[in-house]
Structure 1
Amino acid sequence: MKKIIVPIDFSDCSKNALNNAILVAERMGMELVLLHTFMLPVATTDGTPLVVGSMIDDLQEASEANMADFIKKNKELKRVPYHTEILAGLLLHGLNDALEKHDAAFVIMGTHGASGLKKTFIGSNAYTVIKNVECPVIALPEDADITKMKRIAMSGDYKHRPAAHSIEPVITLTKAFFAHLYIIHIDQDKDLEHDEIEIAKSLEQYLKKVSHSFHFKRDYDVEDGLLAFAKEENIDLLVMISRHHSLIDRIARGSETKRLVMDIPMPLMIMPE
């Protein structure tokens, strides 16, 4: 059975991510892995770092107690199969360990203090995770809800012919939620070139079984155009392929002139190529 890994830090933000993950798991017949990581305590002796074993044991026990309490308060978990994993170390390391052990379809994680794409990345682990795990990651701003999503937009890059495996996760997600998939290409040029049209046509072979449409928007700034489209079409989930890291970097940095567009709540899914 495919797994969905949900990082848990016992906050309201991770609770919201869990609630969304439960519905996704239920729709797609998947199992949840609730992953909690805690930082190792370090003491020093003559300037030499020393991890104290008894402190690790105490933190492990405290984490297990917190997880049990967290599960007790989230009764919706009874609807899907799940298990927990508690590991010492950084979240990224814990996630990569979990991904090696499990046949994971998605990582679904909450992002603290998020009201838009810019804040989704700043002050959270989301950006580090997105850039460094080989699994589709769904990053959910605080209070975001994808449990009833009907409009999914995928940023189309007509410069590269996509591999089937790179877009299969978004296709299965679209089918599971009976959603419509918008393929949106943003370019400053007025018309698509011949090679770009051929690549766009090649996508059709992957999308025959899902409701979909192709869209072209002219804009001199790719991220402005992409986010404006998402706002205009009331998109529930914005999907990008990880080769667009430069675009993600620009969104994360943002600017004062983009504040109005950036402040829309936007669940984001990044797929590894």
Structure 2
Amino acid sequence: MKKIIVPIDFSDCSRNALKNAIMVAERMNMELILLHSFMLPVATTDGTPLIVGSMIDDLQKASESSMTDFIKKTPELDRVKYSTEITAGLLLSALTDVLEKHDVAYVIMGTHGASGLKKVFMGSNAYTVIKNVECPVIALPEDADITKMKKIAMSGDYKHSPAAHSIEPVIALTKAFFAHLSVIHIDQDKDLEHDEIEIAKSLEKYLKKVNHSFHFKRDYDVEDGLLAFSKEENIDLLVMISRHHSFIDRIARGSETKRLVMDIPMPLMIMPE
């Protein structure tokens, strides 16, 4: 059975991510892994790092106790199979270890205090995870809800022909929620070139079993056009592939003039290429 990893820090934000993940697991017949990582206490003696073993044991026990309480307060977990992983160290390292041991379909995680895309990527764990793991990551701004999603938008790059495996995660998600998938291409040019039309046709063969449509929007700023489309169409989940990291980087550095656009509450899914 495929797994979904949900990073847990015992906050309301991670509880919301977990509730969304429960619905995804239920719809897709997957098992959840609740992952918590804690930082190691480090003291210095003559400049030499020293980790106190008893402190690690105490933190491990405290984390296990917090996880037990967290689970008790999330009765929705009774609807799915789940397991827990608690480990010392950085979240990225913990995620990498779990990914190596399990067949993971998605990572679903919350983003603290994030009401829009720009805030999601400003020094957050989500940004670090998205940039470094070879697994689809769904990043959910605080209070986001994809449990009833009906509209998914995928950024269509008509300059590269996609491999079937690279878009399978979004196709599976679209089917599971009986949603509509909008493939949106933003370009400065007025019309698509012949090669771009052919690549769009190659996408069509992968999408025959899902309700979908293709959209072309002219905009001199790709990210502005993509986010504007998502807002106009009331998109529940925006999907991008990893080659668009430059888009994410620009959001993280975004200027004041783009604040209104960047602050739309938008769940985001990044898929590895």
Which residue in 2 is equivalent to 1:70? 70
- By how many angstroms is 1:146 displaced? 0.1
- By how many angstroms is 1:253 displaced? 1.5
2:84 counterpart SS class: strand
- By how many angstroms is 1:217 displaced? 0.3
- Paired with 1:169 and 1:124, the residues of 2 have a C-alpha distance of 24
Q: Are 1:195 and 2:195 an aligned pair?
A: yes
- Alignment length (residue pairs): 273
Q: Aligned AA for 1:13?
A: C
Which residue in 1 is equivalent to 2:9? 9
- Paired with 1:163 and 1:251, the residues of 2 have a C-alpha distance of 27
User: 1:159-198 maps to which residues of 2 (within 5 A)?
Assistant: 159-198=159-198
Which residue in 2 is equivalent to 1:243? 243
- By how many angstroms is 1:260 displaced? 1.4
- Paired with 2:123 and 2:19, the residues of 1 have a C-alpha distance of 22
2:243 counterpart SS class: helix
8 A contact 1:111–1:120 mirrored in 2? yes
Q: Aligned AA for 2:120?
A: T
For residues 58-113 of structure 1, the C-alpha deviation after alignment (integer angstroms, 9 at most, x for no partner) is 00000000000000100110000001000100000000001001100000000001
Q: Aligned AA for 1:190?
A: K
Which residue in 1 is equivalent to 2:88? 88
Q: Aligned AA for 1:213?
A: S
Q: Aligned AA for 1:163?
A: A
- Paired with 1:100 and 1:220, the residues of 2 have a C-alpha distance of 41
Q: Are 1:104 and 2:69 an aligned pair?
A: no
- Paired with 2:122 and 2:12, the residues of 1 have a C-alpha distance of 18
Give the unaligned 5+ runs of structure 2: none
Which residue in 1 is equivalent to 2:116? 116
8 A contact 1:137–1:269 mirrored in 2? yes
- Paired with 2:33 and 2:251, the residues of 1 have a C-alpha distance of 30
Which residue in 1 is equivalent to 2:79? 79
- Paired with 1:255 and 1:215, the residues of 2 have a C-alpha distance of 27
- Paired with 1:124 and 1:264, the residues of 2 have a C-alpha distance of 17
For residues 225-256 of structure 1, the C-alpha deviation after alignment (integer angstroms, 9 at most, x for no partner) is 00000000000000000011111111221111
User: 1:52-71 maps to which residues of 2 (within 5 A)?
Assistant: 52-71=52-71
- By how many angstroms is 1:201 displaced? 0.4
Moved over 4 A (4+): none
- Paired with 1:143 and 1:180, the residues of 2 have a C-alpha distance of 22
Q: Which moved more, 1:259-268 or 1:77-86?
A: 259-268
Which residue in 1 is equivalent to 2:230? 230
2:205 counterpart SS class: coil
Indicate the RMSD between aligned Cα atoms, in angstroms. 0.6
For residues 150-200 of structure 1, the C-alpha deviation after alignment (integer angstroms, 9 at most, x for no partner) is 000000001111010000000000000000000000000000101011000
Which residue in 2 is equivalent to 1:272? 272
Q: Are 1:210 and 2:210 an aligned pair?
A: yes
Q: Aligned AA for 2:16?
A: N
8 A contact 1:22–1:80 mirrored in 2? yes
User: 1:256-267 maps to which residues of 2 (within 5 A)?
Assistant: 256-267=256-267
8 A contact 2:37–2:86 mirrored in 1? yes
- Paired with 1:163 and 1:83, the residues of 2 have a C-alpha distance of 32
- Paired with 1:214 and 1:250, the residues of 2 have a C-alpha distance of 25
8 A contact 2:121–2:248 mirrored in 1? no
Q: Aligned AA for 2:66?
A: N
Which residue in 1 is equivalent to 2:129? 129
8 A contact 2:134–2:272 mirrored in 1? yes
Give the unaligned 5+ runs of structure 1: none
Q: Aligned AA for 1:184?
A: I
TM-score, with length taken from structure 1: 0.99
8 A contact 1:112–1:123 mirrored in 2? no
2:220 counterpart SS class: coil
- By how many angstroms is 1:123 displaced? 4.1
- Paired with 2:48 and 2:226, the residues of 1 have a C-alpha distance of 50
